Chain A
Amino acid sequence: MIHKLKGLIWNGGLAAMLLTASVSAETVKYRGMFKGSSMKIDGTSTVHDWTVESKLISGNMELEGGFPSDLSLEAVPALSVTPKVNVKVAARSMKSGKPTMDQVMLTAMNADDHPWITYKLTEMTPSKGERKIGDALKYDTKGELTVSGVKKEISMPVNISPTDKGLKVAGKVIIKMSDHGIKAPAPKIALGLITTGDEVSLSFEWFTQKR
């Protein structure tokens, strides 16, 4: 009897372990939302600083079931599985508010041949350093950013925080246009005297909702 009971307990424990394992192996899927999302590229030129912005960040995220969403955690736990994240932004949706400048940018990016800016996450680990309770969860990421058809690995810190519908992901990184084969635009106006700086700042706030 005891033997049987032991057997049941053993079998039940095994089942519970398996169940736990299967829960943690489950993933939660999110998709990009239009509302609230924004990606900006800030740059410089010999005349003035400039900004272009898109409100269209689409894509998907797939996170492990136990992905933390509690901002009261004292430390951000390590992830057992690297999330799957794929993001895309239509190049021509980047707007400056100045039609001529938009055209200069799209030409420089060769947007006709490469209409999408894409990003794929390859690595994600909790950021080191002291965490203030209530702050967004901070991670260090690596991923592949493709602009103008040229793929380049980038490292970027990101902040993740829960929202009513899903997660908000925010980040900022400095990139070089030349890394993506983009020649810094020098518009023909002003006798070509206007030149833009090679380094630009790419920042975003991406709102997602559970699928």
Chain B
Amino acid sequence: MTDQTEKIDLNRRDFLKGGSMAGMMAMMASGATAFKPADANAQSSKPPIGPPVKFGVIGCGYHGRDIVGTLAVLPNAPVVAICDHYGAFLRRTGRSAPEATKYENYKDLLADENVEAVVVATPSHQHKDIVIDALKAGKHVYCEAPIASSIEDARAIALAAKNTPKQYFQAGLQYRSDPQRHFLVDYVRTGAWGHSIFARAQWHKKTSWKRAAPSNEREREINWRLNNETSCGIAGEIGIHLLDANNWFLSGRPSAVSGFGSNLLWKDGRDVPDTAQVTLEYPDGVQSYVDITLCNSFDSEYEMYHGTDSALMVRGSQAWMFKEADAPMLGWEVYAKKDTFHKEVGIYLVANATKLTTVTGSGEEAAKASPFTDTPLWYALEAFVHNAYVHQSGVEDFIASFGDTDDEILGEYLAELEGSKKPAAGYQLGYEANVIAVKAHEATMNNNRIELDDSLFDLG
């Protein structure tokens, strides 16, 4: 099967990594190494924490394959089962996990006692039944974001996770596990950038988002993202990560969302926009703006966070600070590596600040100095493996100590273990981000403004 979308993405990344962009982008190229592919040798050398967690992956499409490939380079995440009802996908994914048992029905995978945890990577509108059944079957669940294509389904998933305390649930909001972004959020919280003015993020690619298939029926099925009945569009399917990152950095929950969507290039019968702008409104007049297009690739993807004393730019695993002329001196920035972006000087911000003074050379070399250079997916799955182990061992230890009598007290103990887990999005964050994503999509479909009442976020 031809995978035009993947080819375009790879070419784009190679192009960016080559640093061959013209004009202003030539200067930005150093920061454009986002989503560096995982290095199998480098990762397998990291010592595992806890025993292996045996995985089943449900959904072997493009993202499912990416997940299986990432799990393969984690040191303690063997994939023991894979599932897809489409044989070609199952066979192709099986090449990355040759030892895995192949299932065509997810219920058969859930009945496999060898599987301890599942990743749900099916189309968003198919998540609900699979996640609920997986939790009932006693599996820990990593559910790709958006966790559902509707608020009703997202609530059902979140409530199932909440009411199944013995199982660990993680929503696939990958940035929430990214150490570089945690470092930046901590920096923002210190107030060193002043106070929040606005956030802005973009995702630009020239790609149809349409996938070829051998039959009309299969084509409709595989292109579920282009159908408003089954998809929450680019604002939801792609935008959820950017919208959630903006929420996180601005420490708030938006009170309203406005959207503008148009179909400007890909007039192939789809009924969701190929270009969308979303604005989120926060208290005190702070706003965030996200624009997403499938029609133009200029400047790729990044986030900007503007404070009164400085602005932060985040591109993949790298970030820069742009100081205002009247901003107070921080001290260390004098020695820090700097990159020039057109007429602006960006001060390199990297997790593990003690190495700042040693960072020299080009942006590529500086990126190598960062201790955190894996993909957000890698960090999210690494967190899931670790957290599932902490959760599972906590449940076992509690029951061995006090018996299996009281889920409420067990829940209190598991809450005590949060400090021993790695940062990750649980069911509440996953649900809240989903509400915003679905409403953002709705706004882009109708070109309107939607109030986000607090009750929308209440799981009950």
Interface of A toward B, CB cutoff 8 Å: 32, 34-35, 55-58, 88, 90, 92-93, 95-97, 99-100, 102-103
Known: A34-B402, A34-B412, A56-B413. A99 touches B422 (CB 8 A): yes
- Chain B residue with the shortest CB-CB distance to A98: B420
Inside 8 A of A35's CB, which chain B residues have their CB? 409, 412
- Chain A residue with the shortest CB-CB distance to B397: A90
- Chain A residue with the shortest CB-CB distance to B387: A99
Instruction: Kindly provide the distance from the CB of B409 to the nearest chain A CB, expressed in whole angstroms.
Output: 6
Q: Find A99's partner among B49, B398, B400, B401 (CB 8 Å cutoff).
A: B49
Inside 8 A of B50's CB, which chain A residues have their CB? 103
Q: CA A88 – CA B412 in complex, angstroms? A: 20
Contact A90 B409 (CB under 8 A): no
Instruction: Kindly provide the distance from the CB of A120 to the nearest chain B CB, expressed in whole angstroms.
Output: 17
Known: A34-B402, A100-B49. A92 touches B420 (CB 8 A): no
* Cβ-based interface call for B416 (8 A): yes
The number of residue pairs between A and B whose CB atoms lie closer than 8 Å in the complex comes to 48
- Chain B residue with the shortest CB-CB distance to A91: B397
Contact B398 A56 (CB under 8 A): yes
Inside 8 A of A102's CB, which chain B residues have their CB? 49, 420
Q: Find A55's partner among B47, B386, B416 (CB 8 Å cutoff).
A: B416
Q: Find B413's partner among A32, A55, A92, A100 (CB 8 Å cutoff).
A: A55
Known: A58-B402, A99-B49. A34 touches B393 (CB 8 A): no
Inside 8 A of A96's CB, which chain B residues have their CB? 420
Contact A95 B419 (CB under 8 A): yes
Of residues 145 to 183 in B, which have CB atoms within 8 Å of A's CB atoms? none
Inside 8 A of A55's CB, which chain B residues have their CB? 413, 416
Q: List 9 A-B contacts (CB under 8 A).
A: A32-B401, A34-B402, A56-B397, A90-B401, A92-B393, A93-B393, A93-B394, A93-B397, A103-B50
Q: Find A34's partner among B47, B390, B409 (CB 8 Å cutoff).
A: B409
* Cβ-based interface call for B417 (8 A): yes
- Is the contact region of chain B dominated by helix, strand, or loop, or is it mixed? helix
Inside 8 A of A57's CB, which chain B residues have their CB? 401
- Chain B residue with the shortest CB-CB distance to A106: B50
3 A-B pairs closest in CB distance: A58-B401, A90-B397, A95-B420
Q: CA A34 – CA B400 in complex, angstroms? A: 12
Inside 8 A of B390's CB, which chain A residues have their CB? 99
Inside 8 A of B394's CB, which chain A residues have their CB? 93
Contact A103 B49 (CB under 8 A): yes
Instruction: Kindly provide the distance from the CB of B387 to the nearest chain A CB, expressed in whole angstroms.
Output: 10
Inside 8 A of B393's CB, which chain A residues have their CB? 92-93
- Chain B window 414-443, contacts with chain A (Cβ cutoff 8 Å), 1 for yes, 0 for no: 001101101000000000000000000000
Instruction: Kindly provide the distance from the CB of B230 to the nearest chain A CB, expressed in whole angstroms.
Output: 39
Q: CA A99 – CA B422 in complex, angstroms? A: 8
Q: CA A102 – CA B47 in complex, angstroms? A: 13
Contact B49 A97 (CB under 8 A): no
Inside 8 A of A93's CB, which chain B residues have their CB? 393-394, 397, 401
Q: CA A103 – CA B422 in complex, angstroms? A: 14
Inside 8 A of A32's CB, which chain B residues have their CB? 401-402
- Chain A residue with the shortest CB-CB distance to B398: A56
Q: CA A55 – CA B412 in complex, angstroms? A: 11
Inside 8 A of B417's CB, which chain A residues have their CB? 95
Contact A56 B401 (CB under 8 A): yes
Q: CA A88 – CA B400 in complex, angstroms? A: 10
Q: CA A42 – CA B288 in complex, angstroms? A: 46
Of residues 392 to 411 in B, which have CB atoms within 8 Å of A's CB atoms? 393-394, 397-398, 400-402, 409
- Chain A residue with the shortest CB-CB distance to B422: A99
Instruction: Kindly provide the distance from the CB of A97 to the nearest chain B CB, expressed in whole angstroms.
Output: 5
- Chain B window 207-225, contacts with chain A (Cβ cutoff 8 Å), 1 for yes, 0 for no: 0000000000000000000
Contact B420 A97 (CB under 8 A): yes
Q: CA A92 – CA B393 in complex, angstroms? A: 8
Instruction: Kindly provide the distance from the CB of A60 to the nearest chain B CB, expressed in whole angstroms.
Output: 12
Inside 8 A of A97's CB, which chain B residues have their CB? 419-420
Instruction: Kindly provide the distance from the CB of B50 to the nearest chain A CB, expressed in whole angstroms.
Output: 7
Q: CA A95 – CA B393 in complex, angstroms? A: 12
Contact B419 A90 (CB under 8 A): no
Q: CA A102 – CA B49 in complex, angstroms? A: 9
Contact B419 A99 (CB under 8 A): no
**Additional 17 contacts, C-beta under 8 A, given A55-B413, A103-B49:** A32-B401, A34-B398, A34-B401, A34-B413, A35-B412, A55-B416, A56-B397, A56-B398, A56-B402, A57-B401, A90-B400, A92-B397, A93-B394, A93-B401, A95-B420, A100-B49, A103-B50
Inside 8 A of A90's CB, which chain B residues have their CB? 397, 400-401
Instruction: Kindly provide the distance from the CB of A99 to the nearest chain B CB, expressed in whole angstroms.
Output: 5
- Chain B residue with the shortest CB-CB distance to A95: B420
Contact A99 B386 (CB under 8 A): yes
Instruction: Kindly provide the distance from the CB of B8 to the nearest chain A CB, expressed in whole angstroms.
Output: 39
- Chain B residue with the shortest CB-CB distance to A97: B419
Q: Find B420's partner among A34, A56, A99 (CB 8 Å cutoff).
A: A99
Q: CA A156 – CA B397 in complex, angstroms? A: 26
- Chain A residue with the shortest CB-CB distance to B409: A34
Inside 8 A of A99's CB, which chain B residues have their CB? 49, 386, 390, 420, 422
Q: CA A90 – CA B398 in complex, angstroms? A: 9
Instruction: Kindly provide the distance from the CB of B371 to the nearest chain A CB, expressed in whole angstroms.
Output: 12
Most buried by A among B390, B393, B401, B416: B401
Instruction: Kindly provide the distance from the CB of B75 to the nearest chain A CB, expressed in whole angstroms.
Output: 12
Q: CA A88 – CA B397 in complex, angstroms? A: 11
Known: A93-B394, A99-B386. A88 touches B420 (CB 8 A): no
Inside 8 A of B386's CB, which chain A residues have their CB? 99
Q: CA A177 – CA B435 in complex, angstroms? A: 52
- Chain B window 36-51, contacts with chain A (Cβ cutoff 8 Å), 1 for yes, 0 for no: 0000000000010110
Instruction: Kindly provide the distance from the CB of A91 to the nearest chain B CB, expressed in whole angstroms.
Output: 9
- Chain A residue with the shortest CB-CB distance to B47: A103
Contact A88 B401 (CB under 8 A): yes
Q: CA A127 – CA B192 in complex, angstroms? A: 56
Inside 8 A of B419's CB, which chain A residues have their CB? 95, 97
